[in-house]
Structure 1
Amino acid sequence: MAKSSKPASSDEALSNGSNSSEDERMNDRMEVDDDDDEELEAVARSDAASDEDDDPVPEEIADEDESNGDDPEVSKREKERLKEMQKLKKQKVQEILDAQNAAIDADMNNRGKGRLKYLLQQTELFAHFAKGDQSSSQKKVKGRGRHASKVTEEEEDEECLKEEEDGLSGNTRLVTQPSCIQGKMRDYQLAGLNWLIRLYENGINGILADEMGLGKTLQTISLMGYLHEYRGITGPHMVVAPKSTLGNWMNEIRRFCPVLRAVKFLGNPEERRYIREELLVAGKFDVCVTSFEMAIKEKSALRRFSWRYIIIDEAHRIKNENSLLSKTMRLYNTNYRLLITGTPLQNNLHELWSLLNFLLPEIFSSAETFDEWFQISGENDQQEVVQQLHKVLRPFLLRRLKSDVEKGLPPKKETILKVGMSQMQKQYYRALLQKDLEVVNAGGERKRLLNIAMQLRKCCNHPYLFQGAEPGPPYTTGDHLITNAGKMVLLDKLLPKLKERDSRVLIFSQMTRLLDILEDYLMFRGYLYCRIDGNTGGEDRDASIESFNKPGSEKFVFLLSTRAGGLGINLATADVVILYDSDWNPQVDLQAQDRAHRIGQKKEVQVFRFCTEYTIEEKVIERAYKKLALDALVIQQGRLAEQKTVNKDELLQMVRFGAEMVFSSKDSTITDEDIDRIIAKGEAATAELDAKMKKFTEDAIKFKMDDTAELYDFDDDKDENKFDFKKIVSENWIEPPKRERKRNYSESEYFKQTMRQSAPAKPKEPRIPRMPQLHDFQFFNTQRLSELYEKEVRYP
């Protein structure tokens, strides 16, 4: 039966007896030890004072020094006393740590008992993965004949008491948020908190996989606040997240739950040493926020603690169980593990097993058993396998979409804006295709095709990304920065319109050097901006975000690299997102868009995706749309086929696409159309692509699970192979001269060296030239000739 959310006291309503009493004893111990804090702090200050002559001396030591003067015996006794007090301080800290770890370990043993029972209540599938535990729990039947199934009165009473105890301990449901949480939680966020509490009460680890921008961070912080307020559990908890998101985690903890004492464990070796010795001490902190790198590098310091919760943000980073990060995270001793990810689970059975193995290693211990259980043998068994998979995931996974829960969130509209190429871009694009003509025409290695694809995409972004393309030195900022790239012309038309309507803009690109060009452009046009990329430090990153988000900020544009700026950053004060180039993985672009399209956004978010017409970029975007459609289909229908990376044939089609248009003319294809006209055409092109994707999805639904079909192929794509690529470029092609082949060794010398019995003789030094005889009648400058001879002999 459901319970009220706010009891009069934490001990009377929501906590279990054994857990609460253990935590109370630990807290009482910590309160008693707090009486000695002042003395311990004085000891620390005195110890530091003894090392530095200029620091003030404690009064008790000063009095003794005045009375005893410079007596060496007194000084020796004083040092021993300080050393003893320092030792006492370490002992007390260690006692607190030992008591804390013992309480957590005891709680871990208690929680593990009801875990399998809860899972079996959800579905009997878990009996397949934990047969040993189930068989050991079966009781031996007493009695004979028709009395064999009867139970005694004592057994019945024991069973009733156990069921009543389980019912009281596992049905907590909050109807209002914890009072320690500042701000107002939304209904679905409170529902998410109740789901996390239910997992906690049943000893289950879980995956919080809400769509990006729905407040997963707040729901996680509210869980720690609930444990603090109702259960009396202050931690310690560890949050492991990408380095770029640590500042956001610290800000959110201070903002939503200031009662939690959070420590950010990051910095250079000297800073980390100070944090280890002074801040990361048992009883002095509740939450440790650190990065993936620090979790690996500082594992010896972090493994001293037994953790209540280990929370992993962007948890898809541990989907490979053989990675160093995944192996390290499994070493930590913890009661609970919570994975946070906004990226849908990939349709890969082994990666799914890896996450489930991390959550419940004692149940999902064998990857082979898991694969066999969910193996698809044919189309008829697919639906049954999907149902089994959903049953397995149901107790662990919570995923909700914005469209389902956040009705008040303004919509997001994406428009693909296509633009032509400048004369310089066409020149470089043709040169890149001609340079590797044989590879492009006949098909080469995948690695070489990937390199060509990358170079073509650089050309689509801006030709100045190639060495020597920008005129100079001296390098000057001017109109040439805009006119030599089609996307820059488009951006120069779009930004003034956005500025007029008081919009604020996020511009994402995968290339850091392109951000340098955009930075020069923004300074040239006088737009105020901020910037974050992979080289931006943590403090500068936080300062830039705060400067952009503060009320009345004059910053108009925020430049971000897609990978570094697409995670864990809240920039809801912007309402326009420009994807200057598209990522191969569409989930990365979605994460970038959700920096603005998230809770707190009051305007409709417009996403403009730039695309250079009749180039490889059209195929990259088309493939991204197809992959998104397939991912949605995977989640909906549970398809479990391996996700394919882009193969050689796909790359070849992408590289070849638009070559005929590029070689047909050397002139620029950038038009002088008004920006409104360009946006209207972009909306029509986006609608056409959406219709194409709808048909593609319908075809994929009918698709049979076999390895021979190619999901990423449209019918019209196969016409690409019908033309001879070399013929297209023949008019502009200049046959390169044949390579001159030189012999770099002598055959006779080689065999001579090989057949030699003894070591070759050392080469003789050149002979010293002899000084010619100089006669008087020859009228030579004998003095100058003698000087030259000396130089030749002494300085060869």
Structure 2
Amino acid sequence: MSVHSLKAPFRAPFKTPFKANAVVPAKNGEKTSSFSTPRTCKKQTCIPAKRNKGYKKYNGEDEDDESSENESEYNSGEESEGDSASDSDGKHPRKKTKLNVKRTPFAEVSSRNHNSSARNNNSSPSVLRNPKIALKSQFKPPTFINKPSNNQSNNNANSNLDEDLSRRLTLGMRRKVFVGTKALHDPNNEKSLVLYYPSDNEGEKKEPIVPIKKKERTLAEILGVVIPKSDKKVHVVVDPILTSKLRPHQVEGVKFLYNCTTGKVVEGAYGCIMADEMGLGKTLQCIALLWTLLRQSSLPNKGTIEKAIIACPSSLVRNWANELTKWLGNRIKPLAIDHKGTKEKFLKDLRQFVNAQGRMIMNPVLIISYETLRTNISELNNCQIGLLLCDEGHRLKNSESLVFRTLNSLKVQRRVILSGTPIQNDLSEYFSLLNFANPGLLGTESEFRRNYENPILRGRDADASDRERETSDQKLAELWSFKLTGFDVVPVKYEHVVFCRLSKFQLSLYNLFLTSPAIQRLLRGVGSQPLKAITILKKLCNHPDLLDLPDDLCGSEDCFPPDYSLKEKSRYVRPEFSGKMQVLDRMLAKIKQETDDKIVLISNYTQTLDLFEKLCRNKKYGFLRLDGSMNIQKRQKLVDRFNNPSGPEFIFLLSSKAGGCGINLIGANRLILFDPDWNPAADQQALARIWRDGQKKECFIYRFIATGSIEEKIFQRQSHKQSLSSCVVDEDEHVERHFSLESLKQLFQFNPNTICDTHDTFKCKKCEHGIQTVPSKVMNYGDSSSWDHFTGNDDLARINDIMLKEEANRGIVSYVFQYNSENGKK
């Protein structure tokens, strides 16, 4: 059977070309063709043929020269064994060729002992293309090029073409990642908030913050992306999304925070205290700082920090998470530990936060309560933290507390304390806060007392000598030089201290108690219970129904009014038995009838809240109540319900101990603090519930004080502490020295004939016979002597508040201090 008798063309069984005339041994040892008869040949074998190194590229033309014939024919069976062996490794060099070559028919297979080959010139449409030629052509991936438009010039077309060619996509190749060297946001925009200018600190030393050592390769190293190193500094610009929401006073606050946490204020100090008024948007300012440090630094494409922790009271954990989502959306995913899940889930999330590094950090911000952080500090001991924010930071006022020691053990250098009241009682608490933010900046605690606290306190006393006052001013100037405590400009509000006379029933009980044998023994220093006596007097100033008469006060039966009933007090409230309650009753009625305002009533005692609740039920007023008995999950729902303008409740009863911190009650624009606390910080927190960011109405805030009573002594002690805070924190050197420490010990002295015992101690130069004749130029919030003063007679008609104008000449309100924030200075 000859090859010429084949009707169908021969099809190669392999993709690679093979030798069709391979020689196989015969029986007698002579060579025969692979296409011999079956009786004289063994099993056929296919051997890959060697590719000719000298072939030419096909160009689609008919070529009959010798080189073309050599390209198309099969190799002879007399090829050397070395050539065959060299081809068996499959490494055939491929050269570029065009895909549109002319099809070439199969060459005829040579017969036995035929050393030369000839081309079969008989072409047929059914003949397939030569597989040897097909494999010579290399696959060329397609390219996608945007063709220039017809109306463009040739130069533009060529430039666009070159640009597209440099960016074209190719299969099997990874695109290069181009890393920019510019600022993340445009610093030249007129609305941009630039926190760092490269020209400011060209020769500045690098911050002594040790970077995190990474043992594993970074993602850029794994992908082979080389980020060019550059010493060029870039601008640090606050994200425009946040800049558009910042008010002018908040812009200054963000700048202050950034300068302190980057060590620009004091060399080696990276912490600060944000001591602005409550409700002015400290949260938004801190979010702007946090987001900026996470995303940007003076070096391009690099953040200043990688992780941050926000420590706050448990009731504010969810509020912080909501605020981050509100301002940043899905740009950041905080990890909020609010104990909604299981303990295993909480520990898993916490360990994931600790172990994540570099681009594997999915939750860069951890929001956790002080108590949870203290009990799980072992999980965070080895974690490098870039920034620590401590909300309601006055919890760190005691350097010996467990919370202070726990947070101080964290590996974090940048620390920010948020507190509207950095000085609550004395300068030692201020030292604890500043020493936590910047350890060792003011020396040890004993050195601080010797160098600052004792000289300042001696100079602030009313009986201090001129030399002691001069020394005190010098020490205050040294504290001011650090500039690590900042605050914001305050918006508009009216705050009043309303002095109310006691009712006849209260007066008789008060005098009876002061003349009782128990108080007489107390004043002589003989075995007594001073705290119990103080508590009885404070409750009596609110309302006699708060006392357990006659057990709390022996002989009180003789003081009962004719219409007073012990059984009736459990169901009804008689406002006429209390001076402060009479003023409150008239104000609630006027607000309900003539305005659409809402009001918050705050007290230190839940018993007083019970009294308010009875009054609301008797008058059929809509109200809501929040105290320590309500769990955290229900509190926010109650607050949202009250802040709804269409809600029927216009009174919110609030315990200063349970809800004095962090709750936003902007649905109301009036607030009454019914009784004072020994700690002025507690009162300041309570007074700030309505005067917050987002409030749209003028705010009217009232502090009720029983005239001439123990409440005035408490208020005077608060004034002394606030005066000290104004000197140290607010850098006010014009605060008057009104009270000596000895005068504040006279707690149990009662002056029923005065219109205001506090004003009598001022020796006020603006007033004549209690009536102000000289206007107040600048009001200092910590010094009520700089406020406007009004007597309770016709003079009260000049006041700004319509509610207090109604109390003129009624005989209950004896005196009023008014602070106007438009003329005020914190």
- The answer on 1:444 being equivalent to 2:532 is no
* Residues 375-414 of structure 1 aligned to structure 2 (within 5 Å): 376=455, 378-391=468-481, 393-394=482-483, 396-402=484-490, 409-414=491-496
Q: Matched residues in 1 for 2:632 and 2:450: separation?
A: 46
Aligned in 2, Cα 1:398/1:621: closer, same or farther, shift over 3 Å? closer
Aligned in 2, Cα 1:454/1:209: closer, same or farther, shift over 3 Å? same
- The answer on 1:498 being equivalent to 2:591 is yes
Cα deviation for residue 276 of structure 1 reads 2.0
Correspondence for 2:321: 250
Contact 1:440/1:656 (CA < 8 Å) preserved in 2?
A: no
3-state SS of the aligned residue for 1:257?
helix
* Residues 690-705 of structure 1 aligned to structure 2 (within 5 Å): none
Cα deviation for residue 498 of structure 1 reads 1.2
Aligned in 2, Cα 1:380/1:335: closer, same or farther, shift over 3 Å? closer
Cα deviation for residue 416 of structure 1 reads 0.6
Aligned in 2, Cα 1:255/1:26: closer, same or farther, shift over 3 Å? farther
Deviations 1:393-443 (CA, angstroms, capped at 9, x unpaired): 22x2223341xxxxxx333231515143253x4564355334445536843
- The residue type paired with residue 334 of structure 2 is A
Find the structure with the greater CA-based Rg. 2
Correspondence for 1:103: none
Q: 2:631 aligns with which of 514, 533, 537?
A: 537
Q: 2:653 aligns with which of 559, 565, 590?
A: 559
- The residue type paired with residue 220 of structure 1 is C
- The answer on 1:678 being equivalent to 2:772 is no
3-state SS of the aligned residue for 1:281?
helix
Contact 1:570/1:595 (CA < 8 Å) preserved in 2?
A: yes
Correspondence for 1:121: none
Aligned in 2, Cα 1:558/1:30: closer, same or farther, shift over 3 Å? farther
Correspondence for 2:436: 358
Q: Unpaired segments of 5 or more residues in structure 2?
A: 1-181, 189-193, 223-229, 297-301, 354-360, 456-466, 551-563, 756-792, 797-802, 821-826
Q: Matched residues in 2 for 1:236 and 1:362: separation?
A: 24
- The answer on 1:261 being equivalent to 2:333 is yes
- The answer on 1:453 being equivalent to 2:540 is no
Correspondence for 2:142: none
3-state SS of the aligned residue for 2:488?
coil
Contact 1:572/1:600 (CA < 8 Å) preserved in 2?
A: yes
3-state SS of the aligned residue for 2:548?
coil
- The answer on 1:186 being equivalent to 2:186 is no
Contact 2:503/2:576 (CA < 8 Å) preserved in 1?
A: no
Cα deviation for residue 502 of structure 1 reads 0.9
Aligned in 2, Cα 1:653/1:18: closer, same or farther, shift over 3 Å? closer
> How many correspondences in the alignment?
532
Q: Matched residues in 1 for 2:219 and 2:468: separation?
A: 61
- The answer on 1:606 being equivalent to 2:697 is no
Aligned in 2, Cα 1:280/1:603: closer, same or farther, shift over 3 Å? farther
- The answer on 1:421 being equivalent to 2:477 is no
Q: Matched residues in 1 for 2:739 and 2:528: separation?
A: 13
Correspondence for 1:465: 546
Correspondence for 1:328: 406
Q: Matched residues in 1 for 2:251 and 2:515: separation?
A: 60
Q: Matched residues in 1 for 2:492 and 2:419: separation?
A: 23
Contact 1:238/1:309 (CA < 8 Å) preserved in 2?
A: yes
- The residue type paired with residue 678 of structure 1 is E
Contact 1:616/1:657 (CA < 8 Å) preserved in 2?
A: no
Correspondence for 2:185: 6
- The answer on 1:591 being equivalent to 2:685 is yes
Q: Which has the higher helix share?
A: 1
Contact 1:247/1:542 (CA < 8 Å) preserved in 2?
A: no
3-state SS of the aligned residue for 2:545?
helix
- The residue type paired with residue 661 of structure 2 is L
3-state SS of the aligned residue for 1:460?
helix
What TM-score do you get using the length of structure 1 for normalisation? 0.57
Deviations 1:689-715 (CA, angstroms, capped at 9, x unpaired): 999xxxxxxxxxxxxxxxxxxxxxxxx
Aligned in 2, Cα 1:509/1:28: closer, same or farther, shift over 3 Å? farther
- The residue type paired with residue 242 of structure 2 is I
Correspondence for 2:641: 547
Aligned in 2, Cα 1:484/1:24: closer, same or farther, shift over 3 Å? same
Q: Unpaired segments of 5 or more residues in structure 1?
A: 34-163, 403-408, 662-670, 692-796
Aligned in 2, Cα 1:28/1:340: closer, same or farther, shift over 3 Å? farther
Aligned in 2, Cα 1:660/1:229: closer, same or farther, shift over 3 Å? closer
Identity of aligned residues (%): 26
3-state SS of the aligned residue for 1:602?
coil
- The residue type paired with residue 292 of structure 2 is Y
Q: Matched residues in 2 for 1:438 and 1:517: separation?
A: 27
- The answer on 1:196 being equivalent to 2:257 is yes
Q: Matched residues in 2 for 1:308 and 1:251: separation?
A: 22
Q: Matched residues in 1 for 2:251 and 2:818: separation?
A: 38
Q: 1:319 aligns with which of 397, 401, 415?
A: 397
Q: 2:275 aligns with which of 205, 209, 217?
A: 209
Contact 1:616/1:658 (CA < 8 Å) preserved in 2?
A: no
Cα deviation for residue 481 of structure 1 reads 4.6
Deviations 1:622-659 (CA, angstroms, capped at 9, x unpaired): 44345434543455668899x99997874544444439
Cα deviation for residue 461 of structure 1 reads 1.3
Correspondence for 2:69: none
Q: Matched residues in 2 for 1:212 and 1:504: separation?
A: 20
Contact 2:310/2:389 (CA < 8 Å) preserved in 1?
A: yes
3-state SS of the aligned residue for 1:6?
coil
- The residue type paired with residue 414 of structure 1 is H
Cα deviation for residue 226 of structure 1 reads 1.4
Which deviates further from its counterpart, 454-463 or 646-655?
A: 646-655
Q: 1:277 aligns with which of 319, 342, 348?
A: 348
* Residues 569-718 of structure 1 aligned to structure 2 (within 5 Å): 569-635=663-729, 650-658=744-752, 676-678=805-807, 685-686=814-815
Aligned in 2, Cα 1:437/1:6: closer, same or farther, shift over 3 Å? same
The RMSD of aligned alpha carbons is: 4.7
Cα deviation for residue 324 of structure 1 reads 1.6
Q: Matched residues in 2 for 1:625 and 1:336: separation?
A: 33
Correspondence for 1:223: 289
- The residue type paired with residue 617 of structure 1 is E
Deviations 1:155-202 (CA, angstroms, capped at 9, x unpaired): xxxxxxxxx96xx75x9553xx41453861113322322332333433
Correspondence for 1:730: none
Q: Matched residues in 2 for 1:636 and 1:583: separation?
A: 22
Q: Matched residues in 2 for 1:26 and 1:549: separation?
A: 52
- The residue type paired with residue 397 of structure 1 is T
Q: Matched residues in 2 for 1:660 and 1:645: separation?
A: 18
Q: Matched residues in 1 for 2:753 and 2:813: separation?
A: 24
